[in-house]
Chains A and B, each alone.
Chain A
Amino acid sequence: MGSAPAQIPTSFGHELRACLRCRLVKTYDQFRESGCENCPFFKMDEDHERVVDCTTPNFNGIISVMDPTRSWAARWLRIGRFVPGCYTLAVSEALPEDLQNLCEDERIQYVPPKRV
């Protein structure tokens, strides 16, 4: 096991949200309480407004990645570098601009979703 897994969603309904950067899926409350394991620099746990900005309820499909480094699916979806956890296959929205800038400042790559 490479790294500690992220929190696992505690429910499966529409409380679920996906991080707009790493696509980690958790409930709103989970994001609010402990932020995103892959994107700590968003500091969602410190600023609850951030949760709304950094995550979206609109996502498509869930993938539980147990072993990101050895999962072909994770590699294909480009989440192979993230911690094990539940992710979504795709988000449609892009990160708000100010947060994209934040990524830039942190020298974290952000790749906006491709529009279909």
Chain B
Amino acid sequence: MEDEEYDDEQALDDLEDEEEEDDRSSKKRRRSEFIDDVAEEDEDEEEEDYDDEDEDYGGGGRGGGGGGRKHKAKRRTGSEFFDLEAQVDSDEDEEEEEGEDDFIVDGGADLPDEVDGRGIHRRPLLPREDEAEDVEDLERRIQARYARSSHTEYDEETTDVEQQALLPSVRDPKLWMVKCAIGREREAAVCLMQKYIDKGAELQIRSAVALDHLKNYIYVEADKEAHVKEACKGLRNIYSQKVMLVPIREMTDVLSVESKAIDLSRDTWVRMKLGSYKGDLAKVVDVDNVRQRVTVKLIPRIDLQALANKLEGRDAPKKKAFVPPPRFMNVDEARYSHCFLIYVRELHIRVERRRDQITGDYFENIGGMLFKDGFLYKTVSTKSISAANIKPTFDELEKFRTPGENGESDMASLSTLFANRKKGHFMKGDAVIVIKGDLKNLKGWVEKVDEENVHIRPEMKGLPKTLALNQKELCKYFEPGNHVKVVSGTQEGATGMVVKVEQHVLIILSDTTKEHIRVFADDVVESSEVTTGVTKIGDYELHDLVLLDNNSFGVIIRVESEAFQVLKGVPDRPEVALVKLREIKYKIEKKSNVQDKNKNTVSVKDVVRILEGPCKGKQGPVEHIYRGILFIYDRHHLEHAGFICAKSSSCTVVGGSRGNGDRNGDAFRFNNHRPPPRVPQSPRRLSRGGHQNDYGGRHRGGRGGHDPLIGTTVKIRQGPFKGYRGRVVEIKGQSVRVELESQMKVVTGKLLLMWGNLFSFLFHGYLYGQLTTVLFAVDRSYISDNVVVSTPYRDAPRYGMGSETPMHPSRTPLHPYSTPMRDAAGIVF
């Protein structure tokens, strides 16, 4: 092989020596410097290609005068690289003339040889020097051969920069847009090709382009409009009365088609485009590229009765409008639908069990349809499925999980989800895990991202500092406790804390609904942002107490797109109603007090414990009171957004009742509290898991401007607004809304601790979710300026939290209400 190449080269050299005047010789001279270097071979080929090109021009020149000029221009571009160009240029034309003549004669004679086509590309054609009677002939053959194998060089330069060099110039042919019959675009382009073959160089067009996405038009490349019209003459699919010139700047756009990869491979998720399964998710189990068919696995939608009718030859009722719901067709497995089997038998539908010859899997054949594990296996045309941008919802994926399947096999299908990743999916610092290949399950952090590869810093020792991995081999990785934001998928926009990681599925405690949501790790970014999502429709907001049409009432526990979920005021038995906006009469804002079991006054925000009923033992602050019913919020209650509805008479106030006292500075009101004041739990104890007393302290905040904190100036301690000062405008639950002085904007954050004149605010969910953690996370050394508060001072040492704990002693006495009133833990909202 190599020897052969050398021979060729040698032959070329000989040839070139013969033609001294030709500029080829200049190239040769240049090349001869490298003559011994095999690697330079390509260089050679490149040059030879230019020659080849030249000769082609000569050939084309036969047909029309335009070719000659073109040729010259062309040549100049080609020979720019050669030192001797200027010198040669002057006589180039004459020389060229000769060359052309020679070529034409020879070319003509040898054409039949070439028609054979493929023969010429075969390697061992050369050299047959003994017969090489004609040097020109030999040369031509060499060139023909090189032309074949040397586009290597040409293709090699695929970088963008080099592509720039190929941009069209004024000397290049132009593109013309020509109308053609709709749907016949490809045909029109191919017809032009055929015409060219029939008529040869008479047809002076260079190419014809039919784009898949452009109907009704094709492009024809030619030097002149007349050439286009001439070429299109007589073709019935092309209407060339009017041809439009494509501006030179737009020429590249015409040819840049995005070859969106349609990776139809096993385990790809697709959607059906046609029939009763239209829109259904399906999983590819087999691809027949030749026949362009795919076998997919579907959740069957079978109307068994209709099937039975059909099988028995009975007249099936005319096409029904309804599409049977998808259900699993479990013939041998009772798990899903035992009755199905019975039903199938009852209907005398014959079930045949067959073994697939190739895979060895068993299928149930029911009326020509194949089932396995309850799934329908259907072979359809690739045209009838869509594979681009398929985003299966969680529910769909869950359904597809067959009993035997564990998360592992889901991974393969997950990878198709990755195809939809946006640019910039991985960012520096992201924690990732390898999901494929030898390094599977290796964790690391993203260091750098380029085109295809993600460079990660592996967690494991003994590995290179960074590893470059294809982004498809990676998945984001999170750990319980991370606070995340969902950035794509159905739950997009939600934020919350990761509470559980199952393979590549995260269970997140939503900030908004306090419910668990399941999302793909891939759809999530780590974020300290707390979005509240939609919490309001009209005048009604999440957690509002509302009066409904039928005079029943309840608290809004979830805001959906068009309706509210309302936990009704029915004690002892949670009753949730889905309520439309118009079904709400009004928001109940009346604040009333009731008495608990011990005849203590219960006001909103008092912490009560439920003494009877199914929720016995639960406790939390009272959010609403209406008609003797308490709505208690217990954040450890995972249902109904944490709300529990109970009769006031079955509850007891825990800790102190919050009255008007503290607002007025009347500390002694607390002495009226009947049950002996409980010793509040210290936060440390809270942190050890005793959550029952999270609310051991009194609850501050509340709605309707009752809270003394409202209007006070605070300074934000943590999060993105750290250091900002602002005025408290609203306190609700755990969140505080603060109007920032400097920014004229209102931010929502979380009030962590209020303690004497100390405020700790945690904004944007930093360490959000775990109260105990939060308490410890707060650095209490901060004392806010400008704070005018009417909050009772709480005994600092009670916290017993080591170094963090002691409040700055000098500041305490400054507070007007610094008299210790009772031992209380930090207040956590």
State the A residues within 8 Å of B (CB): 1-6, 8-9, 12, 14, 28, 34-35, 37-38, 40, 51-52, 56-67, 69-78, 80-86, 89-93, 107-111, 113-116
Q: Which residue of A lies closest to B118 (CB)?
A: A40
Which residues in B have their C-beta under 8 angstroms from that of A74? 206-207
Q: Per a CB cutoff under 8 Å, which of A6, A70, A75, A80 touches B60?
A: A70
Which of B221, B258, B383 has the largest count of A CB atoms less than 10 A from its CB? B221
Do A40 and B122 form a contact, CB below 8 Å, given A70-B60, A92-B260?
yes
Segment of B185-193, B513-521, B572-580 engaged in the interface with chain A:
B185-193
Q: Which residue of A lies closest to B195 (CB)?
A: A66
Which residues in B have their C-beta under 8 angstroms from that of A51? 290
A108 to B205, CA, bound (A): 30
Q: Restricting to B379-394, which residues have a CB under 8 Å from any CB of A?
A: 382-383
Segment of B8-16, B208-216, B722-730 engaged in the interface with chain A:
B208-216
Contact A2 B52 (CB under 8 A): yes
Instruction: Say yes or no for B34: interface residue by CB 8 A criterion.
Output: no
Q: Which residue of A lies closest to B252 (CB)?
A: A76
Contact A66 B260 (CB under 8 A): no
Interface range, B side:
35 or more
Closest Cβ of chain A to B729, distance in Å, is 49
Closest Cβ of chain A to B240, distance in Å, is 15
For this complex, 20 residue pairs linking A to B, each with C-beta atoms less than 8 Å apart, are: A1-B60, A3-B147, A12-B187, A37-B118, A56-B289, A57-B289, A60-B260, A62-B185, A62-B210, A67-B207, A70-B173, A71-B207, A73-B251, A75-B166, A76-B167, A78-B151, A84-B196, A109-B153, A111-B158, A116-B258
A71 to B60, CA, bound (A): 12
A77 to B258, CA, bound (A): 13
Contact B193 A69 (CB under 8 A): no
A47 to B466, CA, bound (A): 44
Q: Restricting to B572-610, which residues have a CB under 8 Å from any CB of A?
A: none
Which of B201, B255, B383 has the largest count of A CB atoms less than 10 A from its CB? B255
A2 to B212, CA, bound (A): 29
Main secondary structure of the interface of B (DSSP, over half): helix
Number of A-B contacts (CB under 8 A): 201
Closest Cβ of chain A to B608, distance in Å, is 61
Which residues in A have their C-beta under 8 angstroms from that of B111? 1, 4
Which of A6, A58, A69, A114 has the largest count of B CB atoms less than 10 A from its CB? A69
Do A69 and B56 form a contact, CB below 8 Å, given A8-B194, A14-B292, A93-B261?
yes
Contact A40 B289 (CB under 8 A): no
Q: Which residue of A lies closest to B214 (CB)?
A: A61
Closest Cβ of chain B to A116, distance in Å, is 5
Contact B255 A73 (CB under 8 A): yes
Do A82 and B151 form a contact, CB below 8 Å, given A66-B207, A70-B56, A92-B260?
yes
A70 to B116, CA, bound (A): 23
8 smallest A-B Cβ distances: which pairs?
Answer: A81-B151, A109-B152, A90-B259, A64-B193, A71-B206, A72-B172, A92-B261, A92-B259
A60 to B163, CA, bound (A): 20
Closest Cβ of chain A to B499, distance in Å, is 37
Q: Restricting to B675-721, which residues have a CB under 8 Å from any CB of A?
A: none
Contact A76 B117 (CB under 8 A): no
Contact B190 A111 (CB under 8 A): no
Q: Which residue of A lies closest to B63 (CB)?
A: A1
Q: Per a CB cutoff under 8 Å, which of B55, B114, B212 touches A4?
A: B114
Which of B114, B121, B201 has the largest count of A CB atoms less than 10 A from its CB? B121
State the B residues within 8 Å of A (CB): 1, 49, 52-53, 55-57, 59-60, 70, 74, 111, 114-118, 120-122, 144, 147-156, 158, 163, 166-168, 172-173, 175, 184-187, 189-190, 192-194, 196-197, 200-201, 203, 205-212, 221, 251-252, 255, 257-262, 289-290, 292, 382-383, 452
Contact B262 A58 (CB under 8 A): yes
A18 to B189, CA, bound (A): 15
Contact B210 A78 (CB under 8 A): no
Q: Which residue of B lies closest to A49 (CB)?
A: B290
Contact B144 A67 (CB under 8 A): no
Closest Cβ of chain A to B677, distance in Å, is 69
- A14-B383, A71-B207, A81-B151 are known; give 15 further A-B pairs, CB within 8 A: A2-B52, A4-B114, A8-B194, A12-B190, A35-B118, A40-B121, A59-B259, A66-B207, A69-B57, A71-B206, A72-B168, A73-B209, A74-B207, A81-B154, A108-B152
A70 to B144, CA, bound (A): 16
Closest Cβ of chain A to B54, distance in Å, is 9
Do A64 and B192 form a contact, CB below 8 Å, given A72-B221, A76-B252?
yes
Contact A64 B200 (CB under 8 A): no
A95 to B111, CA, bound (A): 33
Which residues in A have their C-beta under 8 angstroms from that of B289? 52, 56-57
A58 to B388, CA, bound (A): 13
A83 to B257, CA, bound (A): 22
Contact B118 A2 (CB under 8 A): no
Closest Cβ of chain A to B736, distance in Å, is 47
Which residues in A have their C-beta under 8 angstroms from that of B52? 2, 69
Do A73 and B192 form a contact, CB below 8 Å, given A1-B201, A64-B208?
no
Contact A86 B173 (CB under 8 A): no
Contact A76 B152 (CB under 8 A): no
Do A80 and B154 form a contact, CB below 8 Å, given A34-B118, A40-B118?
yes
Contact A77 B255 (CB under 8 A): yes
A115 to B418, CA, bound (A): 14
Q: Per a CB cutoff under 8 Å, which of A28, A60, A75, A109 touches B257?
A: A60
A13 to B52, CA, bound (A): 35
Closest Cβ of chain A to B788, distance in Å, is 61
Q: Per a CB cutoff under 8 Å, which of B148, B153, B200, B207 touches A1?
A: B200
A61 to B194, CA, bound (A): 17
A70 to B201, CA, bound (A): 12
Q: Per a CB cutoff under 8 Å, which of A66, A72, A115 touches B192?
A: A66
A114 to B257, CA, bound (A): 11
Closest Cβ of chain A to B449, distance in Å, is 15
Which residues in B have their C-beta under 8 angstroms from that of A4? 111, 114-117
Contact B57 A70 (CB under 8 A): yes
Which residues in A have their C-beta under 8 angstroms from that of B262? 58, 92
